[in-house]
Chains A and B, each alone.
Chain A
């Protein structure tokens, strides 16, 4: 391989040229946005999308945002907030956890399908992705989806690219649905409860129509977030307080939802795993994980466990991704087998026949 030189294209056409060239030379590339996501341990040149940046169109009345992949997430947040809107899936900022010093980008968020606490209520990043432009591993400039809320025209490749971690294509433009930000929010806090109790609280709260938009358990405290229009909020809060009175909830303004979203409690060192499970399985899984010698927190009403500690949690919970390696060995993503593995390989070869895009990142 030649001496690594960072490639930082400023246009889609340049991305296409670079990929066509790398395809011909079979030169693998590490695809990076702000450099804040899962690290690719394999040596390769870096294709940085940081200079392919900027909002193309933001239409609050149509609830759509069209932007280039390198657009910094904080810039997007600010622009939307000025119109009382947000990316409802609450994309996390994991640079504290991953020790990166870059700024998270919109393309990185989509490539990782990164979704925060409100995923519970409003769905993941992929549910808000209306369309994409992208360059495949041959250098072909392609598009899928569009900029409207409802679209079933052809195969939904946008969903496939969301969460593909740059292993299928390089995103050059993303179209996301924006939603009105609830003007008011509050949090019910339950200090000193186990995961088992937290799950009982979550199950009760999430069976109500009060649109709980966050249900997390961190450091022995359970949190329930409620949002809404002003009048709505007081009503929802009071109904939940009454329903959950046995567990003695306290009302907290300014609860640390950004910190929960960014997994700030597990910043620093040690291998960090992201585990998806059936919510009611979470308490027993946490018990097993702690027995391995680490520590856990819950988000998404128990559907997401963060585990920091030694060992490989896949023996307990197969759906585990190694987000911060810090000495841990083995594949970052859960290994696949059988027909599903064959479909993955086939798709990978279709989008990137020379295997130049983040090779090895999602492989077993």
Chain B
């Protein structure tokens, strides 16, 4: 346990029963949970190494109920941790003992589908996948598609500015978010953006998206929707080295073909996937899956261009899918990669991004670091945009192994920053990468971000101890507590 959390506020703990009573006074009876047998279900998110049961959990059903919760917590000085589905890999919804968890799962209504103006308005507790399911009969879809899309909520997607495999073409959440209904810590409700294609005044929606619950709670969202493509087809390309695979990615991008996805898997990952899913992938050091969209003729044309690029680099294999079953077979291994890795042991999933041209060098260095730290690592990631997902394998039952894995992970993320990239491409900082922020940002760069939080959340009650290193935020928190 190398990530420190601040000590709970004794004044808040001492008032626990009054706080719960005040919440009960403004919410329906089933919307407030304080029984420790039930609150323990909220003690962690998908970063399970860190746990802490909250003081209470609230499950509001409307913007008004969220506003009421915020007024109570604002008045009584109680920290609030917003939580979507709890799928954060970065500990973005990790509670503190003195906090109220504000769960969005009952904010689950679809409010408006407007295909003429190409948007959908939803309460933010709806899951990512259900938004696209709702749109399917209309011939539209919602583009961001994080791997956890079956479970994760739009609220969490907005908080973390989530991406997915298809964002090479369609962008991440911030590029597909048109408007938001936001509850501030004062309990005030503001509308930012809407169906119009631009902000009124400053782009507050732009800083809200990806702010990890630091600025406000989003209860409703207006999302941009897109007509479904006529078809999509993947190809699989095997290479005998990571360098050649990286070169292939850069050449595809330069060629003018813009695939919807370019996925990369390395040898350790391929071995695990083969043992688990038997996807029939080639036995080679690097595999790319490239997916293109359009009509049959358009797809054929794009694949021919990709084949010409790949052939010049002498691939071990170039596999086309001729029908839906073969397309599924190509994706099967990639989609089961995380499950396959889970069979090998415990793992930490990292999320650094590097400039595409730095991929081969970064992969080589990760291999060297793996030998230095004595832990195995597998790479599976979105290569088109340089968003890496190294999976570090360790044994949680072995004393000291988690700390070694975390140290290895920190070295990889520092490497990402050193080659011109960043700590996190789509998972967010949370608590996991909080203490590495100083590697990416100078003190002044962090200070201005914290000053922006001061404006939105002067009491520093929202999602405590995330994003900003505790040492850096100490003065802001102390001022807020006065």
Contact = CB atoms under 8 A, between A and B. Distances in A.
A127 B207 contact: no
Contact of B253 (A63, A141, A162): A63
Contact of A279 (B116, B422, B444): B116
Contacts of B188: 338-339
Nearest to A182: B256
Interface stretch (B34-42, B50-58, B167-175, B329-337): B167-175
Interface size class of A (residues with CB under 8 A): 35 or more
Given A206-B118, A350-B448, A350-B451, A340 B353 contact: no
Contacts of B421: 146, 148
Interface residues of B, number: 94
Nearest to B118: A206
B245 to A, nearest CB: 14
Nearest to B427: A152
A149 B426 CA distance: 10
Contact of B298 (A206, A231, A343): A231
Interface in B440-465: 440-442, 444-446, 448-449, 451-456
B196 A319 contact: yes
B203 A152 contact: no
A13 to B, nearest CB: 15
Contact of A159 (B207, B444, B445): B207
Interface string A26-66: 00000000000000000000000000000000011111100
Nearest to B214: A155
A229 B200 contact: no
Interface in A180-205: 180-183, 203
A124 interface: yes
B255 A180 contact: yes
Contacts of B199: 163
Interface string B114-129: 0111100000000000
A264 to B, nearest CB: 21
A15 to B, nearest CB: 15
Contacts of A142: 442, 444-445, 448
Interface stretch (B25-33, B71-79, B226-234, B392-400): B226-234
Contact of A150 (B229, B253, B386): B386
A70 B24 CA distance: 57
Most buried by B among A60, A83, A84, A155: A155
Given A149-B387, A229-B298, A231-B298, 11 more contacts: A61-B250, A123-B171, A123-B175, A126-B203, A150-B172, A151-B425, A156-B210, A229-B257, A319-B196, A339-B186, A350-B455
5 contacts: A83-B254, A140-B444, A160-B204, A160-B452, A340-B204
The 4 closest A-B pairs by CB, nearest first: A159-B206, A150-B425, A346-B455, A149-B385
